[in-house]
Amino acid sequence: MTKNIGILVGSLRKESFSKKIAETFSKLFPEEYNVTFIHLDGLDMYNQDFDDVGPVPESLTAFREKMKSIDAVLFVTPEYNRSVPAVLKNALDVGSRPYGASVWDKKPAAIVSVSPGAISGFGANHHLRQSLVFLNMPTVQQPEAYLGNVTSMLNEDGTVTNENTLQFFQAITDSFVDLIQKNS
């Protein structure tokens, strides 16, 4: 069955390793799936007054509308100071309001954390997971996707070609697809 997958990347950096890893993942879904990158550049920082008093900025309305068309969410994120980069946390907050109209509710999710370091973004991965519990998003448990030493995975042109690495990425994607089907 056709599904719309949204990929949210927790880095705005042009040459982001996370974006390059996300590009590789975007090609591993079944043919009938539509995969869309949801760009977070330009999304205003959430202020509760937008919803309580108004007006709601166009960037928030556009993001919320876009997310409504998405069936499942792949988060690919670096770790900032052992936690989730603000740009991604802000997207979660924006999408969770106004109260009762969350765009996240019941949507399956998968989390891939990315780091040039050895700790592999574990802190970001689990802090994000904590928010997804509250947001009621069934999330892939296994395989856990902590991608450390990411520079050794990427070729100069930003692609991933190592067969073992691609098999691991495919196993993560397959587990996500399985979760999506079970939640259909």
Question: How many residues contact ligand FNR, by CB under 6 A?
Answer: 16
Sequence-separated (6 or more) residues with CB below 8 Å from residue 163: none
Here's the x/- map for ligand FNR, 72-91, by CB under 6 A: it reads as ------xxxxx---------
Binding residue for ligand FNR, selected from 3, 6, 7, 11, defined by CB under 6 A: 11
Nearer to ligand FNR, 13 or 68 (CB): 13
The minimum distance between CB 18 and ligand FNR, in angstroms, equals: 3
Looking at residues 101 to 120 of the shown chain, list those that interact with ligand FNR (rule: CB under 6 A). Answer: 114-117, 119
134: burial class by Cβ within 10 Å (0-12, 13-18, 19+)?
exposed
DSSP of 27-90, one letter per residue? TSS-TT-EEEE---TTPPPP-HHHHHTSPPPHHHHHHHHHHHT-SEEEEEEE-BTTB--HHHHH
Region near ligand FNR per CB under 6 A, out of 11-19, 30-38, 136-144, 154-162: 11-19
One character per residue 18-57, x = contact with ligand FNR (rule: CB under 6 A): x---------------------------------------
Give the bridge partners for 146, in sequence order.
113
Using H for helix, E for strand and C for coil, what is the string for 105-160? CCCCEEEEEECCCCCCCHHHHHHHHHHHHHCCCCECCCCCCEECCHHHCCCCCCCC
Return the number of the residue (57 or 116) whose C-beta is nearest ligand FNR: 116
**CB nearer to ligand FNR: pick between 64 and 127:** 127
Q: How far is CA 100 from CA 18, 53, 103, 118, in A?
A: 31, 17, 9, 39
- Give the shortest CB-148-to-ligand FNR separation in angstroms: 8
Kindly indicate which of the ranges 13-21, 47-55, 60-68, 152-160 contains the residues binding ligand FNR, using the contact rule CB under 6 A: 13-21
Where does this chain bind ligand FNR (CB under 6 A)?
11, 13, 16-18, 78-82, 114-117, 119, 121
